[in-house]
Chains A and B, each alone.
Chain A
Amino acid sequence: MADKVLTANRLSDGISVWLDAAGNWVESLQDAFVARHAEAVSALETTGKTAFADNKVVDVNVIDIEEVDGVLRPLRLRERIRAEGPTIDYATGYKGLSGPDQAA
């Protein structure tokens, strides 16, 4: 069985998140809790269903990963791009969000 992590998109802003060992949704795959056996995977699935039902996250999925030299790496390219962001220099000159709404 491949190692697995739980991923989703945060409801409020849609940003990709992963579940950590403390039960928090974090923005870095590297901080995710890794399930290495069937019971742990089952726990992830239950947590995912609950989080979805609690309206914290959407598009919840358990995904396959591998650990290479201590770095977590999804097996599918799709999930690698979700974890690392677009593979292109998409926003040359991007200086971060501005304006009062984002400052808070």
Chain B
Amino acid sequence: MYRYDEFDHAFVSDRVEQFRDQVTRRLSGELAEDAFKPLRLMNGVYLQLHAYMLRVAIPYGTLNSRQMRMLAHIARKYDRGYGHFTTRQNIQYNWPSLSDTPDILAELASVEMHALQTSGNCIRNVTADHFAGAAADEVADPRPYAEILRQWSSVHPEFSFLPRKFKIAVTGAERDRAAIQVHDIGLHLKKNEAGEIGFAVYVGGGQGRTPMIAKKIKDFLPEADLLSYTTAIMRVYNLHGRRDNKYKARIKILVHETGVEELSGQIEQEFLQLKNTELKLPEADIQAITTYFALPELTERPEGWANLAGWKKADPDFARWVHQNVQPHKNPDYGMVTISLKPIGGIPGDATDVQMDAIADLAEEYAFDEIRISHEQNVIFPHVALADLEAVYRGLVSIGLATANAGLITDIIACPGLDYCALANARSIPVSQEISTRFGDPARQAEIGELKIKISGCINACGHHHVGHIGLLGVEKKGAELYQITLGGSGDENTSIGEIIGRGFEPEKVTDAIETIVDTYLGLRLDPGEKFLDAYRRVGPQPFKDALYGNGAQAAA
């Protein structure tokens, strides 16, 4: 992975000391809240319902054991013994005191981490496929490009005060595991006919109150032009993005109001000015960054095949876990392991300090010291020898993280919701816990198959409900919580925005409604191989409406 150079170290340390001074002045009263708030936000410090919240960046979801141990240490020393991994591949702490935050940031800096640009109207953490560098279907590793974008966008003077926040995602395979079409810029790494690396470029995707699927504005952008073209997009957005209305300030609205053709013309014009400037990426620079992300030396471990067969036969729980949570690696002797942070009835994305320490130990011993955080709020070991899977599994069992549910109905994404978040209108976590408990039986989950439920506690959609196969949006109606259900959303290479199925459900009725939807699906699917999403796309919403509201039901507001 990328290692800080001298400049990076000095830059991050300087920012910590600058923030320490700002916090000191705030606590002494020298700085008023109005002046301080934008400064704390630039350093990832929010104020939530019960306390401050610190959001720490995990660049493109990649970290090593030392860094994971530091996250555990911070949870233990400065918080309440846990952290929450987010859909942005970051981690949030829910209880830090303001006076401690400079020390926390200093500790993070000691392991090459920070909380910069995890808030504010700037370019946020660049996200990427969590299987990057390991997936068998990958054209190229997206992380070097994500790192190049990270370096370029860090405190970029021109792009630190954009009309609104800006999110970039990169995927390196045809199978989109980074949800690039619901990002401000989505980059799909590909090869052209000559075998050269470049990107299909998507612009203007996003969720929130106005969900939109990004439009492809470039079919093949040579890798050397990555920064010049991205700069061109940012310039057009910075100039024309709406600053008069916060709710219309994202680039998706600009794309929608301007039109794709007109906007890509403007971007192209800007690009022509920038194309052959210092922004052109020299091949040597790309290679230098790529070196940081080299595949670890994976020795041949063919014994794993026989071992695995024996272990699976002896232990059905292990067999189920391998089937569900281990994906094929580009090296056949290895697998990619998903460590589910969705124990049955648990809090999606939460991990305790003990669990984080144990994950770090396992990664060091069995996973080449490489850890990823997925946007689905799970932890990934991208490289594990099949011969070591049993040991990893036993380690995970001992810390309660061996739930075999990756991609199943209990692998639920949920934002913190009204239990923590100052913006939320309804709770997300208890709803996810009840659904998880109801469907927790492994045989039932297996029968249902792939089904992604995503829950947001407000219209900002941090829980990605718009792209859930089943999405739940919590709203406040007449002082009480109500949950609106959407069906048919998807955040992959065939992205779709879920459709509202009808009137909302009270908290105590949501799980029953989900069960009705699931039972309807099981009753109408062509065969067990037809996934929920495929079945929904085949039959449309009506059978589900009928089941939920009675025959002839109409969609309600």
- The answer, yes or no, to whether A70 is at the interface (CB within 8 Å) is no
- The answer, yes or no, to whether B390 is at the interface (CB within 8 Å) is no
Q: Do A97 and B80 touch (CB < 8 A)?
A: yes
Nearest 5 Cβ contacts at the A-B interface: A13-B97, A14-B52, A86-B419, A14-B51, A55-B29
Q: Do B33 and A52 touch (CB < 8 A)?
A: yes
Q: Do B32 and A15 touch (CB < 8 A)?
A: no
Q: Do A82 and B81 touch (CB < 8 A)?
A: no
Interface 1/0s, chain A 78-98, versus B by CB < 8 A? 100110011110111111011
Provide the bound-state CA to CA distance between A20 and B350, in Å.
Answer: 35
Provide the bound-state CA to CA distance between A13 and B52, in Å.
Answer: 7
- The answer, yes or no, to whether A59 is at the interface (CB within 8 Å) is yes
Q: Which chain B residues border A14 with CB–CB below 8 Å?
A: 47-48, 50-52, 97-98
Interface residue ranges of B255-278 to A (CB < 8 Å):
none
Q: Do A75 and B100 touch (CB < 8 A)?
A: no
Q: Do A78 and B97 touch (CB < 8 A)?
A: no
Query: In whole Å, how far is B474's beta carbon from the nearest beta carbon of chain A?
Result: 11
Q: Which chain A residues border B60 with CB–CB below 8 Å?
A: none
- The answer, yes or no, to whether B525 is at the interface (CB within 8 Å) is no
What are 14 A-B pairs with beta-carbon distances under 8 A?
A: A9-B47, A12-B27, A12-B98, A12-B99, A14-B47, A14-B48, A16-B50, A58-B33, A78-B49, A86-B419, A86-B429, A87-B427, A90-B419, A101-B77
Q: Which chain A residues border B350 with CB–CB below 8 Å?
A: 90
Provide the bound-state CA to CA distance between A58 and B433, in Å.
Answer: 32
Provide the bound-state CA to CA distance between A90 and B414, in Å.
Answer: 14
- The answer, yes or no, to whether B202 is at the interface (CB within 8 Å) is no
Q: Do A85 and B50 touch (CB < 8 A)?
A: yes
**Which of A15, A58, A77 is within 8 Å of B50, CB to CB?**
A15
- The answer, yes or no, to whether B521 is at the interface (CB within 8 Å) is no
Query: In whole Å, how far is B553's beta carbon from the nearest beta carbon of chain A?
Result: 29
Q: Which chain A residues border B32 with CB–CB below 8 Å?
A: 55
Q: Which chain B residues border A95 with CB–CB below 8 Å?
A: 81
Interface residue ranges of B45-82 to A (CB < 8 Å):
47-52, 76-78, 80-82
**A interface residue numbers (CB < 8 A to B):** 9, 11-16, 52, 54-55, 58-59, 75-78, 81-82, 85-88, 90-95, 97-99, 101-102
Provide the bound-state CA to CA distance between A87 and B428, in Å.
Answer: 11
Interface residue ranges of B417-460 to A (CB < 8 Å):
418-420, 422, 424, 427, 429-430, 433
Q: Which chain A residues border B422 with CB–CB below 8 Å?
A: 59
- The answer, yes or no, to whether B352 is at the interface (CB within 8 Å) is yes
- The answer, yes or no, to whether B248 is at the interface (CB within 8 Å) is no
Q: Do B98 and A11 touch (CB < 8 A)?
A: yes
Provide the bound-state CA to CA distance between A99 and B528, in Å.
Answer: 54
- DSSP majority for the A interface? loop
Q: Which chain A residues border B51 with CB–CB below 8 Å?
A: 9, 13-16
Provide the bound-state CA to CA distance between A102 and B77, in Å.
Answer: 8
Q: Which chain B residues border A91 with CB–CB below 8 Å?
A: 80-82, 352
**Which of A55, A76, A88 is within 8 Å of B430, CB to CB?**
A88
Query: In whole Å, how far is B432's beta carbon from the nearest beta carbon of chain A?
Result: 10
Q: Which chain A residues border B29 with CB–CB below 8 Å?
A: 54-55
**B interface residue numbers (CB < 8 A to A):** 26-27, 29, 32-33, 47-52, 76-78, 80-82, 94, 97-100, 103, 347, 350, 352, 354, 418-420, 422, 424, 427, 429-430, 433, 476, 479-481
**Which of A85, A86, A92 is within 8 Å of B352, CB to CB?**
A92
Provide the bound-state CA to CA distance between A59 and B418, in Å.
Answer: 17
Which among B98, B99, B352 has the highest number of chain A CB atoms within 10 Å? Answer: B98
Provide the bound-state CA to CA distance between A82 and B429, in Å.
Answer: 16
Query: In whole Å, how far is A77's beta carbon from the nearest beta carbon of chain B?
Result: 7
**Which of B78, B99, B418 is within 8 Å of A78, CB to CB?**
B418
Q: Do A93 and B81 touch (CB < 8 A)?
A: yes
Q: Which chain A residues border B98 with CB–CB below 8 Å?
A: 11-14
Provide the bound-state CA to CA distance between A94 and B352, in Å.
Answer: 9
Provide the bound-state CA to CA distance between A85 and B98, in Å.
Answer: 19
Q: Which chain A residues border B27 with CB–CB below 8 Å?
A: 11-12, 55
Provide the bound-state CA to CA distance between A31 and B538, in Å.
Answer: 58
Provide the bound-state CA to CA distance between A60 and B97, in Å.
Answer: 18
Q: Do A75 and B479 touch (CB < 8 A)?
A: yes
Query: In whole Å, how far is B43's beta carbon from the nearest beta carbon of chain A?
Result: 14
Query: In whole Å, how far is B444's beta carbon from the nearest beta carbon of chain A?
Result: 24
Which among A82, A86, A98, A102 has the highest number of chain B CB atoms within 10 Å? Answer: A86
Provide the bound-state CA to CA distance between A78 and B430, in Å.
Answer: 15
Q: Which chain B residues border A94 with CB–CB below 8 Å?
A: 80-82
**Which of A52, A58, A99 is within 8 Å of B47, CB to CB?**
A58
Which residue of A is nearest B28, CB measured?
A55
Q: Do B352 and A81 touch (CB < 8 A)?
A: no
Q: Which chain B residues border A55 with CB–CB below 8 Å?
A: 26-27, 29, 32-33
Q: Do B77 and A98 touch (CB < 8 A)?
A: yes
Provide the bound-state CA to CA distance between A97 and B99, in Å.
Answer: 15
Query: In whole Å, how far is A98's beta carbon from the nearest beta carbon of chain B?
Result: 7
Q: Which chain A residues border B424 with CB–CB below 8 Å?
A: 78
Provide the bound-state CA to CA distance between A66 and B81, in Å.
Answer: 34
Provide the bound-state CA to CA distance between A93 and B427, in Å.
Answer: 23
Query: In whole Å, how far is A49's beta carbon from the nearest beta carbon of chain B?
Result: 12
Q: Do B418 and A81 touch (CB < 8 A)?
A: yes
Q: Which chain B residues border A52 with CB–CB below 8 Å?
A: 33
Excluding A14-B97, A55-B33, A78-B418, 15 further A-B contacts by CB distance (< 8 Å) are A9-B47, A11-B27, A12-B97, A14-B48, A14-B50, A77-B418, A88-B347, A91-B80, A93-B354, A94-B80, A97-B78, A98-B76, A99-B77, A101-B77, A101-B78
Given A9-B47, A59-B47, A77 contacting B481 (CB threshold 8 A): yes
Provide the bound-state CA to CA distance between A49 and B418, in Å.
Answer: 26
Provide the bound-state CA to CA distance between A59 and B32, in Å.
Answer: 13
Which residue of A is nearest B97, CB measured?
A13
Provide the bound-state CA to CA distance between A42 and B26, in Å.
Answer: 28
Q: Which chain B residues border A11 with CB–CB below 8 Å?
A: 26-27, 98
Q: Which chain A residues border B99 with CB–CB below 8 Å?
A: 12-13
